[in-house]
Chain A
Amino acid sequence: MSKKYDTPMLDELEKGAFPSFVTEIKRAAAHSDMSNDLLGHTETCYKERVTHWKHGGIVGVRGYGGGVIGRYSDMPDKFPGVAHFHTVRLNSPSGFYYKADALVELCDLWDKYGSGLTNIHGSTGDLVFLGTRTENLEPFFAETSSRGWDLGGSGSALRTPSCCLGKSRCEWANIDTMAITNDITQHYQDEMHRPAFPYKFKFKVAGCACDCIASIARADMSIIGTWKGNIRVNQAEVANYAKTMNIQAEIIDMCPTGCMKLDGKELRIDNANCNRCMHCIAKMTKALRPGTEQGATLLLGSKAPIVTGALMSWVIVPFIKMEPPYEEFYELIDKIWEWWDENGKNRERIGELIERLSFPRFLKEVGLEPSPAMVKEPRRDPFFFWAEEDIER
């Protein structure tokens, strides 16, 4: 077995109630020299208060342009086990559901080819296998892909789409998030594995406005389930809630549109004024359910602050059915990507590109009609453009 490192700072992080990542590294270190050297390496980072990882390098599997992130230590002589410490991203199944036998099989392979450390899951939703050497990448890919797993996205490509668990275990899902996510993933395998975009592109699919997958904050395209028509009300259950809850204070007074009132013991909803925020449904789940004409709102553009500030996705399609084979949806996506490819600069996300060029121009060029649903308010300034056909010559 390899050298034992003194790790007084990391040891401190094994104390306390919450599960410890240090304990996990130590468990892996018991049978992996790589993980053992990771302990020494990480302790050094803690002591010096600085990272000791270098920029990624050119690593991957043959034919693909993503799914592997190169990582090298800047102290390879001191910690040879992490001289290479590359990440492999495996595309997770929609909804993050697993069966034990499949996970154990992946664990066996990772103990054979890698450090024995994982992230379940990475921020984008991949199964992240943390730390292996360049020569192990192809064998690990052959072993996992032959068992039905594929790599996720990285680089200027479609990233692994992800979703909330939707209809599988939630009464609020207005769309089949898992089916949609799986379909998008299979439909765009080439775009995921062979980077062809100006920069990354993420889809995240949420079944309702609760947005348990945070799609509005971190997906270039956020697909959020919603409905048209009336909230379904079970008045007997409303009466039951009234026994334990102050409906006036907790529901009606907190409704953002003031569209609800109590009529005796019955709850009345002015559905035309409802903006489908989900507060009442989430708090009175036995009594209230979304309407039955269900679909999704498509929003575009969110990203973290790099470089000119964080964006949340905004509405581009107020309502779309989102049922197989999703033809209308895929036609729109292809048009959006084509427009981005024509106009985008290297490292420019779709949201930034629209900001730089013009949202009305984007709408016109991808063939979407303007709608008040797309804006909080109309523009304040008088500086707008007209097309040639609007001018009298």
Chain B
Amino acid sequence: MSDLPQRQTDIGPPHYSKFLHPVIAKNYGKWQYHEVLSPGTMVHVSETGDKIYTVRIASPRLLSTDTIREHCAIAEKHCGGYLRFTSRNNVEFFVDAESKVAPLVKDLEAKGFLLGGIGPRISNIVHTQGWVHCHSAATDASGLVKAIMDECSEYFTTKELPNKVRLAVACCVNMCGAVHCSDIALVGVHKTPPRIDDVNVKNACEVPSTIASCPTSAISPNPATKSVKIKLEKCMYCGNCYSVCPAMPIADAKNDGIAIVVGGKVNSLRSNPKFSKLVVPWIPNNPPRWPQVTDAIKVILKAYIAGAKKHERVGEWIERIGWEGFFKETGFEFKYQHIDDFTFARETYRMASTFKWS
């Protein structure tokens, strides 16, 4: 490997200024307003009078170098080579005149790219690695995203909603991504405790840190095997012990599944940021298209579209009609699992007699 260049350390990323379109660099900090021109295009107008047009396309996030090269070729042809990715993994192209938008759009559409995601719509789904690359996944993420976005694609490309609906998928409760504060989110969950491989616990794991990893103190030493044991009624299947000790696998093909949580948001517009709350505790993994999951999401969307006022996010609509109203509108069954008995439980009990009949 003598032909390798000299490695460098601690240099950090390239400075962003190298990658800014000249109009963006010139008008940095001078932007005055923007307008959404179509579901896939918008214009930002500067105090200097300059304009930058942005064209946005969908991406599956998992990208081959071949597809990235296609993005780059289009950026070279139309945008001086400049492009960016959004925090929801869409791709954005820039041009500095309205007349340059249509040729760019034409080339993007000819390549089969899907324009949209801007405005009160469903943008791309933030998601995790799932079965494609993760050891702790209770479900796949990319497949769920694909199945849901296929069902909802018209809310990406054309149709409007009362406000943005932010979707997220996490393949386990570690939740790499802001799943716990999304309008509608899916999270992979287990229903059975980890299985203890005594020999490997002894050889590969630190028993004290394995015990300490359990949030409900369900794990204790097992002197007989020099391993650990689990008090089954205390385990709530979080899998944290598996994160610190690989000899406690928790994946269970028959019992792993998906929970749906709704009503979260991260912005402060009108109301404070909100956590997502449980509405469906478990749906079996049914790949490749998870029809029960996509059906449930469509039920939620339909009720939101019918009930929400303009600008209300899912969580704001639900708070106005009440969670009892949400279960009534969606017809979802309310189960024991919906009632919190963990860290923040007390805050969630209704300490008033002012509920609505459902």
Q: Which of B116-149 contact A (CB under 8 A)?
A: 126, 128-137, 140, 142-143, 145-147, 149
The answer to whether A9 touches B288, judged by C-beta atoms less than 8 angstroms apart, is yes
Q: Are B60 and A19 in contact (CB under 8 A)?
A: yes
Are B12 and A51 closer than 8 Å at their CB atoms? Answer: no
Tell which of A91, A108, A277 touches B13, judged by Cβ atoms closer than 8 Å. Answer: A91
Q: Which residues of B contact A116 (CB under 8 A)?
A: 64-66
- Give Cα distance in the complex from A324 to B287, angstroms: 51
Query: Chain B residues with Cβ under 8 A from A217's Cβ?
Result: 178, 180-181, 264, 266, 273
Nearest neighbor of A116 in chain B, beta-carbon distance = B65
B273 touches A53 (CB 8 A): no
Whole-angstrom distance between the Cβ of A128 and the nearest chain B Cβ: 9
Q: A64-B9, A171-B44 are in contact. Are A211 and B267 (CB under 8 A)?
A: yes
- The answer on a CB contact under 8 Å between A309 and B342 is yes
For B5, the closest partner residue in chain A by CB is: A146
A214 touches B266 (CB 8 A): yes
Stretch in B23-31, B99-107, B223-231 touching the partner: B23-31
> How many residues of B are counted as interface, with CB atoms below 8 angstroms from the partner's CB atoms?
118
Partner of A55, one of B75, B157, B246, B253: B246
Min CB gap B275→A, angstroms: 6
B1-43 CB mask vs A (1 if < 8 Å, else 0) is 1001111111111111011100010001101111000000000
Q: Per a CB cutoff under 8 Å, which of B34, B67, B156, B181 touches A24?
A: B67
User: Known: A48-B253, A53-B135, A169-B24. Contact between A250 and B83, CB under 8 A?
Assistant: no
Contact between chains at B131 and A42 (CB < 8 Å) = yes
Q: What residues of chain A lie closer than 8 Å to B289, measured between beta carbons? A: 12-13
User: Binary interface profile of A, 6-35, with partner B (CB < 8 Å = 1, else 0)?
Assistant: 000110110111111111110110100001
Please count how many residues in chain A sit with their CB below 8 Å of the partner chain's CB atoms: 132
B296 within 8 A of A: no
Q: B269 near A277 (CB under 8 angstroms)?
A: yes
Over the window 102-119 of chain A, the binary record of Cβ atoms lying under 8 Å from chain B Cβ atoms (1 yes, 0 no) is: 111001101100001111
Query: Which A residues fall within an 8 A CB radius of B?
Result: 9-10, 12-13, 15-25, 27-28, 30, 35, 38, 42, 45-46, 48-56, 61, 63-64, 71, 85, 87, 90-104, 107-108, 110-111, 116-125, 130-131, 138-139, 141-143, 145-150, 162, 164-165, 167-171, 173, 176, 178, 182, 185-186, 189-190, 193, 209-218, 250, 254-256, 275-279, 282-283, 285-286, 289, 304-310, 312, 345-347
